[in-house]
Structure 1
Amino acid sequence: MLKYAFRRILGMIPMLLLTSIIVFSLAKLMPGDSLSGEIDPRNTNPQYIAEMREKLGYNDPMPQQYFRWVSNFIEGDFGKSTRFKIEVADVIGERLPNTILLGFTSILITYLLAFMMGSYAGRKPYTIGDNLIGGINYLGLSIPSFIAGVFAIYFFSFKLGWFPSNGSVDIGVTEGTFDWWLSRLHHVLLPAFVLGFLNIASYTQFLRNDIIENSRKDYVRTARAKGTPESKIYNVHILRNSIIPLITYLGFDIVAIISGAIITETIFTYPGLGQLFLQSVGVRDYPVLLTLTMMFSFLTLFGNLIADILYGVVDPRIRLD
C-alpha cells in the first residue's frame, strides 16, 4: 500500500509540471494583463504602467517568465497579488477556511442524506416512499447546480427567509464566539446543500439499487434459511457490502467540491477560493490565478489517489501493488 501510494505521488510530479506549462501559457495568451485596466490618464500615468510592466517582467520572453515563476513557486514564493497588493499566500489563506468549511459541510450533508434515503428505498423498494425518493433523485440529477442555486436563494432566502442569500457570517458578531460560529453555520448550510445536491441524488440511487441487488444474492438467502434476523441481514450482510463502493467516492468528492464550489460560491457570493478564482480571471491577477490552478490540480490528483486507496482498504479483494 505504501509503495503504491509513493509511486502515485511520484507520478504526480510530471502531471503537475505539464499542467503548469499549459496553465501558464493559457494565462499569458489571454488579452491584456493585470495592469491593462489601469491605463487611464484619470487614474494612473501610462508611463508608470509601462515601468511597472518592465519591473514585473511582463515584457520578458514567455519561457523566461515561466522558469522564473516555477522557480519561485517551488521555493514557496507564490508572488504578490496585483489586485490586493499583498502576498498570494495571505490572500488564499484568508479564503481557504471558508472553502474548507463549505466542502466539509457539503460532504457531510451528502453522505448523511444519501445513506438515509438510499437505505430506506433499498429496504422498501417499489413503495410510495421509494417512488417519492426516486422522483426527488431524478429531479436532482436533471437540474444544474447554478439553476438549483438560484431557485434555492429565491425560495429559502427571499420567500421563506430561512437562510441568508450571501456572505459567510453576519456583520457585527464577534469572531470566535458561539454566535459567530452559529452564524457561519447558518450561512454555509444552503450553499453546501446546493453543492452536494447532484451527489445526493446519484449516491441515493446507487445505494438503493445496490441494496436491492445484494438482497437477492445467495449469501442472503443462506442467512435467511438459517433463521438470521432480518435486521441483522440488512445491517451486517447487505448494507455492509452495498456501502463499500459508496465510501470509495469520497476521494472523487474532493474533485467535485473543487469544481462545484467555483459556481456555487459565485452564486451565493460566498467568500471562498472558488469566487476568488473567478475574480482573478476577470482582473488578470496572474499570481493568484496560477497558484489556485496549481492547488486545484494537485487536489484533483490527490483526490483520485485517496479514492484508489480507499477502494483497496474497504474491499480486501482489491490489491494495490
Structure 2
Amino acid sequence: MTRFLLRRLGLMLLLLFGVSVLVFFLFALMPGDYFSSNRQLTPQRLAELRALYGLDQPVIVRYVIWLGHALQGDFGYSLVYNRPVTEVIAPLIKNSFLVAFAAFALTWVIAVVTGVLAATRQYSLFDRIVTILLFASLSIPSFFLGLLMIKVFAVDLQWLPTGGMLDTASSSTGIERMGEIARHMVMPVAILTFLGAGSLTRYFRSGMLEQLRSDFVRTARAKGLSERAVVFSHALRNALLPAITLLAFELPGLFSGAIITEQIFNWPGVGRIQLESVQTRDYEVLMTITLLLAALTIVGSFLADILYAVADPRVRLVDQVRGA
C-alpha cells in the first residue's frame, strides 16, 4: 500500500508540474496583456512598463522565474488590484470553498440515498419522480434557476436574502454572524447541489441496478440475508466503485458552476474575480485560479485512487504484482 501511495503521489506531482508548464505558456502566448489594453499609453511608455514587469523577456525565462517564486508561495502581482495575487484571492478562495464543500457534501449524500432508493424501487412513483428531477437538473440553466429562486424565496416570500454574504451594514459577530452567512448560503448551495446531484444520482442508480441483478447478490439472498444487508453491505459497496472515479471531477466542477452562481447571488468568491480577470486581462490572477482548479482535479484524482484501492483490494494486488 505504501508503494502504491508513493507512486501515485509522484505521478500527481509530475502532472502538477506539467499542468503548470501548459497553463503558463498558454497564457503567455495569448495576444495582448494588461498594458496593451490601455490605448492612452504611448508605444515608448508601453515598452517601459512591459520591461519593468519582465513581460519583454522570453517565455521560458519568465516561466523559470515564475516557478521559483511559486515554490515560495508567490504567484505574481495583480496589476488591476496593485497587490500580490495571493492577497487578492486568498479570502475569496475561503468563501468559494465554503459554498463548494457544503454543496459537495450534500450532493453525495443526496445522490447515494436517492440512487439506492430509486434502484430498489425501480419503476415506482418515487423512481419516476427522481427520473424527472434528474432530467430537470441536467436541462435547466443555473442562471435561470438562480433568478427564479431569488424571485420566489427572496422577493415574493422574503424568506431569504437576495444575495451577498452578509446583510447590508452588518456588524454581527460569533454565532450570529455564522447564522447570517448560513442564510445567505442557502440558495447558492441549493443550486449547486441540485445541478450536481442529478448526474451523480444517475450513476448511483444505474450502478445499483446492475449490482442488484448480479450473481453474488442472488447468492446473498439465497443464503437468507436480509434485504437491507444485501443492498447496503453487498450491492452498494460495489456500486460505489465506479462513482469514486467521479470524485476527481466533482469538486472542480462545483467551482466551475460557482462562477455563474456567484455572479447571480453576488457571492464574494473566486468565480467573480475570474470573470473580471478575463475582461481586464489580469493574467496573473487568471492563471493562478486556473492552476488552482487543475490542482483540485489532480488532488481529487489522487484521493479517488486511494479510495478505490481501499474499497477494492484487487487494485492493490495488481499494483503489487506490477511492482514485483
Q: TM-score range by the shorter chain?
A: 0.7 to 0.9
Cα displacement (A) at 1:14: 4.4
Q: Quick one: distance in 1 between partners of 2:250 and 2:142? A: 15
- Partner AA of 2:10 in structure 1: L
> What secondary structure, in the 3-state scheme, does the structure 1 residue paired with 2:83 have?
coil
Q: What is the alpha-carbon root mean square deviation over aligned residues?
A: 2.8
8 Å contact kept, 1:220–1:233? yes
Cα displacement (A) at 1:102: 1.1
Match of 2:5 in 1: 5
1:127 has 2:142 as partner: no
Match of 1:70 in 2: 67
Give a deviation string over 1:208-258, Cα, whole Å, max 9, x none. Answer: 233333333334334434443333333333334334443453333223223
Cα displacement (A) at 1:110: 0.6
Match of 2:291 in 1: 294
8 Å contact kept, 2:196–2:254? no
Q: Which moved more, 1:296-305 or 1:160-169?
A: 160-169
TM-score by length of 2: 0.85
Cα displacement (A) at 1:135: 0.8
1:9-48 correspondence to structure 2 within 5 Å: 9-40=9-40
1:52 has 2:49 as partner: yes
Match of 2:112 in 1: 115
> What secondary structure, in the 3-state scheme, does the structure 2 residue paired with 1:125 have?
coil
- Partner AA of 1:282 in structure 2: Q
Give a deviation string over 1:5-40, Cα, whole Å, max 9, x none. Answer: 322333344433443333333323444322345554
8 Å contact kept, 1:99–1:272? yes
Match of 1:232 in 2: 229
Q: Quick one: distance in 1 between partners of 2:123 and 2:71? A: 56
Match of 2:322 in 1: none
- Number of aligned residues: 318
Unpaired runs of 5+ in structure 2?
Answer: 320-324
CA 1:176–1:49: 2 relative to 1, 3 Å = farther
Alignment equivalent of 2:136, drawn from 128, 134, 139: 139
Give a deviation string over 1:108-127, Cα, whole Å, max 9, x none. Answer: 22122212322221222211
CA 1:307–1:94: 2 relative to 1, 3 Å = same
Q: Quick one: distance in 1 between partners of 2:63 and 2:221? A: 66
Q: Which moved more, 1:177-186 or 1:285-294?
A: 285-294
> What secondary structure, in the 3-state scheme, does the structure 2 residue paired with 1:221 have?
helix
Unpaired runs of 5+ in structure 1?
Answer: none
Alignment equivalent of 1:87, drawn from 76, 84, 89: 84
Cα displacement (A) at 1:151: 3.8
CA 1:139–1:92: 2 relative to 1, 3 Å = same
- Partner AA of 1:34 in structure 2: Y
CA 1:13–1:228: 2 relative to 1, 3 Å = closer
Match of 1:309 in 2: 306
- Partner AA of 2:3 in structure 1: K
Q: Quick one: distance in 1 between partners of 2:213 and 2:103? A: 33
CA 1:146–1:313: 2 relative to 1, 3 Å = farther
CA 1:126–1:84: 2 relative to 1, 3 Å = same
* Sequence identity percentage: 38
CA 1:14–1:213: 2 relative to 1, 3 Å = closer
8 Å contact kept, 2:247–2:301? no
Q: Quick one: distance in 2 between partners of 1:20 and 1:120? A: 43
Cα displacement (A) at 1:128: 1.2
Match of 2:250 in 1: 253
